[in-house]
Amino acid sequence: MLMEALEDLNLGDETIGVAPVGCSVFAYHYMDIDMQQAAHGRAPAVATGIKRVMPDKTVFTYQGDGDLAAIGTAETIHACNRGENITFIFINNGIYGMTGGQMAPTTLENMKSSTSPYGRDLKSMGHPLKMTELVANLNGVAYATRQAVHTPALVRKCKKAIVKAFKLQKENKGTTFVEIVTNCNSGWKMRPVQANEWLQKNMIPYYPLGDIKK
C-alpha cells in the first residue's frame, strides 16, 4: 500500500526509505526502492540526515511501536519538533513482534505479553502511550493521523492518508505522521480473524481512528 501510494504519485524513483529494528527490519526486501537500515529507534535521525543533504528527495521511516515509541522516542519527538520534511509510517500493534511478543509502550491495560504475563498493570508498568496525539501538539508537524487496515474500506482510507502525507512532504509543509493500528496475531497468540476482532473491540476504542491534525 505504501509502495502503491508512491507509485500513484510517481515518486518511487526518488524516494529513500528507512527501516529500523523490529518487524520492519526486512522491509527493504519487500520495497523496490532505495532504502537504509537503521539502528533501533534511530530512523528519524537517519531520515533527517538523508533529507537534510537531499531536500528534494522523498524520505520516509517505517517504524514499529517499540522502535518509535520506546527506544526512539527522543529522535521521534525532535524530528517532529524540527518539522523535518519526512513522513513517519508508524505501525502500532501493541507489542514487540520481532523479539517474540514482549510488552510495548502501546500495550493496552491488562493486555498479556511475554513480559506482562499477568496483563499490563498500569500502576507498575505505566500507561499505553498515544504517540500520534503527542506529536500532533508539536508545531513542526503538518499532518498527524491514525488509520487501520483490518477492513477493505479502512485500507482504502489509509492509503489516501499516506498519499496525503507524501503530497504534503513534497510541498515542504513539515513532518507528516501516519499511525496504522494493526494486529500481530502470532504475538497476540490469536487466529488472524480473531485478532482483527480483538483489535476492533479493544485497540480502536483506546486508539481512535481519524485525523488528529490536518
Q: Quick check: 78 binds other proteins (CB under 8 A)?
A: yes
Q: Quick check: 3 binds other proteins (CB under 8 A)?
A: no
- The residue among 30 and 194 lying less far from other proteins, judged by its C-beta, is 30
Reported as type and span, the H/E element at residue 91 is: strand 87-92
Q: What is the DSSP letter of 14?
A: G
Q: In this structure, which amino acid lies at residue 1?
A: M
**Distant-in-sequence contacts of 54-57, Cβ < 8 A, 24+ apart:** 54/16, 55/85, 56/14, 57/14, 57/15, 57/16
Q: Which three cell numbers stand for residue 31?
A: 520495497
Q: According to CB under 8 A, which one of 5, 23, 50, 131 is a site residue for other proteins?
A: 50
Q: Quick check: 70 binds other proteins (CB under 8 A)?
A: no
**Footprint of other proteins on residues 107-136 (CB under 8 A)?**
none
Q: According to CB under 8 A, which one of 2, 5, 23, 48 is a site residue for other proteins?
A: 48
Q: Give yes or no for a contact between 163 and 156, defined as CB atoms under 8 angstroms apart.
A: no
Q: Quick check: 163 binds other proteins (CB under 8 A)?
A: no
Report the nearest approach of other proteins to the CB of residue 32 (Å).
Answer: 6
End-to-end CA distance of the chain: 21
Q: Quick check: 154 binds other proteins (CB under 8 A)?
A: no
Q: Give phi and psi for 177, each to the nearest 5.
A: -135, 115
**Residue 90: partners with Cβ closer than 8 Å, 6 or more residues away:** 63, 64, 65, 68, 69, 131, 132, 177, 178, 179, 180
Q: Residues in contact with other proteins, total (CB under 8 A)?
A: 31
Q: According to CB under 8 A, which one of 1, 8, 30, 54 is a site residue for other proteins?
A: 54
Report the nearest approach of other proteins to the CB of residue 41 (Å).
Answer: 9
Q: Give yes or no for a contact between 40 and 21, defined as CB atoms under 8 angstroms apart.
A: yes
Report the nearest approach of other proteins to the CB of residue 156 (Å).
Answer: 27
Q: Quick check: 25 binds other proteins (CB under 8 A)?
A: yes
Q: According to CB under 8 A, which one of 1, 52, 100, 121 is a site residue for other proteins?
A: 52
By CB under 8 A, name the binding residues for other proteins: 12-16, 18, 25, 28, 32-39, 42, 45-50, 52-54, 57-58, 74-75, 78
